[in-house]
Structure 1
């Protein structure tokens, strides 16, 4: 006998704040797309190591009988399929925001989907998707006119919000773990110190940091006796970093500037940049490396930490507009290591060290997501409604799943001049 699932309380969606989460494609206009999506979805999950529980009690998936498998609980399959059918993975994420499906292991579920991503959509539909899926808005293109707005839409949300899930260093990038049980501050400092060591930062070094974050790398470099210029487009991060540096008594060694990387002039012994290249955009990788090369002193070193995707996937999706673009990182793009090396090489830079730390990012994101979940009451008091909290939960767990599956990776890359 089939047992109906209990009614699930869904978040209240403010249509003015979340118009596309509140808006579901009408049945009449999305019936064919939903039917095709339903067929593809059912066929795909049969081959994946996950479980899908439908509201009528039907259980699907390649691990349907495995109680330990990551599970997707679908509360409203009609709405989910209509959203995916009309807007692809944007609809998949918006459906989660709307509470139309849940998971007991969201990161594991995403990792399972990512493990079979090449087979999820038939080849003929992949070729057609550019005709019906959204394109990146011109206003999001990370050129000199839009970059500051793009940064503000993410990093200027609220320092208090970020403080709820980041560690005390306020480092918003992958840590570097040696053991699973060590604390985040130790792992974050290990990441930073390795970059400083690779760049040869010591007493008297002239250091440029592209992308300040909340100031921990600049602080750590100054504690070595280096003189640091660090740049950001986020006014929230700028203010926080200045206060942090002043509180440590190092303002005479660190200058925090509101400045675009394209505007930097000067000569530096070391140039460092932590997970900022993702905001540059694929079309501007050459500009980014030209800025690094143009400021790097003879014999100097540049070290960047970059989130990457496999080259074939970058090429396949480079013109796409995703849920991450729409709700988290407008204008962002993940490069491949091949693209980074090619762009660097065109501007006289050679990679002399490539250190991958993807497993550490999976652990970093797991801890962030857990801390974010633990801060529900505080986040609500700060004015972040349930749809926002589900959005960030999806983003953090989605990213964790990407690193767990190997679909995403992160590299510390050290560059010198070709003629060094």
Structure 2
């Protein structure tokens, strides 16, 4: 490992799902947050009494209209249906939301100030009603109360390296606890339902094979992979006879991917380089990039697609797997600083299909195929979340404290809820050149 346990935990704090729990588990002791690692969780915002009171009124009114049951402090449960949300410390809960919105909502969970008997279920209800939770007059004034992303999270060459480091270099051992043996950290494509843990590795291979087929990868293909992960796609491409250059900004991922590739006997076919996609040279028959565009940032989408076009040989194919969100929501929130940005994926932005289409066209590329399967991501996340929860003692043994564990549980549940509510989707896209360019010997 290249970082100490304390460094890893602190870095996640600076950057910043549990399985359904029985009702008795809702009264668990609240974790004690280390103020040095988790300053905003430990101390919480000051907030004004008036703002907290107004927030309480608005939030209670919104929750009452949803299929949720709620209990504030020692008050009886209200609501007749849905998951139970129990707020142990209503004053802190409403103060955090009143001051920091959804960032405060997530930090309140990290602090143990609220629980749910079905966390994914509760978050799915909220995600399904996201556009109606905030009164319309306040939505129109979003720019006056929503926090804007810090400039330090922009994906410049150095910024992108730091943003990737803060998530993917946490610990290979941590990711190995909840990922399947392929170490694949993106949506699987399942063959059948119901989905169980033993299906996951096979479903990840099916996803990878679909992408390789989409890109036309076979014997002799010169393949560029943007975003190595831990090497599984490169391994399967090499097994087809392709020659692969795979680039990543994560030292931890590169180290493990290189080791796995060597052990599989493909070191002569695969090169894993610590390199930004903007600095890649050469030209390739095929380019594959799996759930990497979300880390590019809207400012750099034109550069990303121009780079794909520049690196593609005549007749080449590009296969992308991308998480997407509705275009209107992307436009409304593209500059907003969220809990995910603060604690999980600094600098990221999930694109819409419309935004991808716009930027591909501007780069001289054409979207040839576009298949979505968001329900499969929900199931992938469920398996990861359940696995993470079951192995909580091993997470602790790696040196990650209870606040980190609650943060990660919330992240996995929050993401799963987004797919279950249809707020998020995941798509496999095929891009090719719209025309032959001067670089290819003339225009067509």
TM interval, shorter chain, is over 0.9
Secondary structure of the structure 2 residue equivalent to 1:302: strand
Question: RMSD over aligned Cα, in angstroms?
Answer: 1.3
Q: Is the 8 A contact 2:374 2:419 kept in 1?
A: yes
Structure 1 position 128, deviation (Å): 2.8
Match of 1:177 in 2: 190
Superposed, 1:133-172 pairs within 5 Å as: 133-172=146-185
Superposed, 1:47-62 pairs within 5 Å as: 47-60=65-78
Q: Is the 8 A contact 1:361 1:410 kept in 2?
A: yes
Question: Aligned partners of 1:89 and 1:130: how far apart in 2?
Answer: 15
Select which of 329, 337, 349 maps to 1:321. 337
Instruction: Tell me whether 1:84 sits opposite 2:97 in the alignment.
Output: yes
Question: Aligned partners of 1:79 and 1:270: how far apart in 2?
Answer: 52
Match of 2:318 in 1: 302
CA shift digits 1:153-194 (9 cap, x unpaired): 000000000000000000000000121336101100000000
Q: Relative contact order: is structure 1 or structure 2 higher (C-alpha 8 Å, sep ≥ 6)? A: 2
Question: Aligned partners of 1:171 and 1:201: how far apart in 2?
Answer: 19
Quickly say closer, same or farther: Cα 1:7–1:295, change in 2 above 3 A. closer
Select which of 25, 33, 36 maps to 2:51. 33
Instruction: Tell me whether 1:189 sits opposite 2:205 in the alignment.
Output: yes
Q: Is the 8 A contact 1:278 1:333 kept in 2?
A: yes
Question: Aligned partners of 2:117 and 2:185: how far apart in 1?
Answer: 25
CA shift digits 1:256-295 (9 cap, x unpaired): 0000000011111110000000000011111111111001
Question: Aligned partners of 1:163 and 1:276: how far apart in 2?
Answer: 20
Match of 2:379 in 1: 363
Question: Aligned partners of 2:28 and 2:391: how far apart in 1?
Answer: 22
Match of 1:119 in 2: 132
Question: Aligned partners of 1:32 and 1:254: how far apart in 2?
Answer: 60
Q: Which runs of 5+ in 1 are unaligned?
A: none
Quickly say closer, same or farther: Cα 1:348–1:23, change in 2 above 3 A. same
Q: Is the 8 A contact 1:8 1:75 kept in 2?
A: no
Secondary structure of the structure 1 residue equivalent to 2:381: helix
Quickly say closer, same or farther: Cα 1:6–1:346, change in 2 above 3 A. closer
Structure 1 position 7, deviation (Å): 6.0
Select which of 407, 412, 417 maps to 2:428. 412
Q: Is the 8 A contact 2:102 2:338 kept in 1?
A: yes
Structure 1 position 48, deviation (Å): 1.4
Structure 1 position 6, deviation (Å): 9.1
Select which of 13, 30, 37 maps to 2:33. 13
Match of 2:439 in 1: none
Question: Aligned partners of 1:107 and 1:79: how far apart in 2?
Answer: 22
CA shift digits 1:130-174 (9 cap, x unpaired): 323322111111111200000000000000000000000000000
CA shift digits 1:393-412 (9 cap, x unpaired): 00000000000000000000
